[in-house]
């Protein structure tokens, strides 16, 4: 696989606020880091996304008086789940986790920067129209296949994988390199089902390593 230039690894939001101790921590979220670090050298291209919110972002419960985290509101016609303040621009919580080996990341795409519009997917904002430019970057490099991992399975990973499929990419989810929020309960299972239905392949990191060995044989 290291020689397959049409493949890329896409790491979703492995940031301090989504790991234990963060303001929106995913249970065992930091367990993905050694897995991702181990498989990164297999890929010719590695990309990552980073939530990068302004302090008054629409996704924060504090931006909606009388509301609390996990409430759902409609803003500008878009359904929005409310969260604790997280990944605020320039804060430690927004930084990529310090144990993630960032030296191999060739592109870091920041998303969710518009105060009134959230972005789960690395490809489109949550209006499903505003393009981040990632697809054009990938197609310019002739990348046709994405291996996706990171946080969280049932939100930003799911949205990125589904959008990538809609855009015509071959997509594989590396399951043991992902963790989910599972709020509401069952959302991880539903996310996996939705991704499978769209044609996303499911593998483990050991499968990636095996494919790399086979490609070099």
Q: Which domains does the chain have, with CATH numbers?
A: 7-55+88-216 (3.40.50.850)
Give tens-digit pLDDT for 100-134.
Answer: 999 999 999 999 999 999 999 999 999 999 999 99
Give tens-digit pLDDT for 172-213.
Answer: 999 999 999 998 999 999 999 999 999 999 999 999 988 776
**Mean predicted confidence (pLDDT) in 88-93:** 98
Active site residues: 13, 111, 156
Longest dimension (CA), the chain: 61
Identify whether 152 is preceded by a cis peptide bond (ω within 30 of 0): yes
Give tens-digit pLDDT for 34-45.
Answer: 999 999 999 999
| Residue 3, pLDDT above cutoff 60 | no
CA 144 distance to own-chain centroid: 18
| 5-16 burial code (b ≥16 CB/10 A, e <16) | eebbbbbbbbbb
Confidence of residue 216 (pLDDT cuts 50, 70, 90): low
Instruction: Please tell me whether the overall predicted TM-score, pTM, comes out greater than 0.85 for this model.
Output: yes
pLDDT for residue 5: 78
């Amino acid at each position: 696989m290291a020689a397959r230039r049409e493949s890329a690894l896409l790491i979703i939001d492995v940031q301090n606020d989504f790991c234990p101790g963060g303001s929106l921590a995913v249970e065992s979220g930091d367990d993905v880091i050694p897995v991702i670090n181990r498989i990164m050298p297999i890929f010719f291209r590695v990309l990552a996304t980073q939530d990068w919110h302004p302090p008054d972002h629409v996704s924060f419960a504090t931006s909606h008086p009388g509301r609390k985290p996990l409430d759902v509101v409609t803003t500008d016609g878009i359904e929005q789940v409310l969260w604790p303040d997280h990944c605020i621009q320039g804060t430690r919580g927004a930084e990529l986790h310090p144990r993630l080996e960032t030296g191999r990341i060739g592109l870091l795409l920041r998303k969710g920067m518009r105060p009134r519009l959230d972005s789960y997917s690395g490809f489109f904002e949550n209006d499903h129209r505003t393009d981040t430019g990632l697809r054009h970057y990938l197609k310019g490099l002739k990348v046709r296949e994405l291996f996706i991992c990171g946080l969280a399975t049932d939100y930003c990973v799911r949205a990125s994988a589904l959008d990538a499929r809609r855009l015509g990419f071959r997509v594989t989810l590396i399951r043991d390199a992902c963790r989910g929020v599972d709020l509401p309960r069952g959302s991880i299972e539903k996310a996996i089902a939705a991704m499978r239905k769209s044609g996303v392949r499911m593998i483990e990191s050991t499968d990636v390593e095996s494919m790399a060995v086979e490609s070099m044989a």
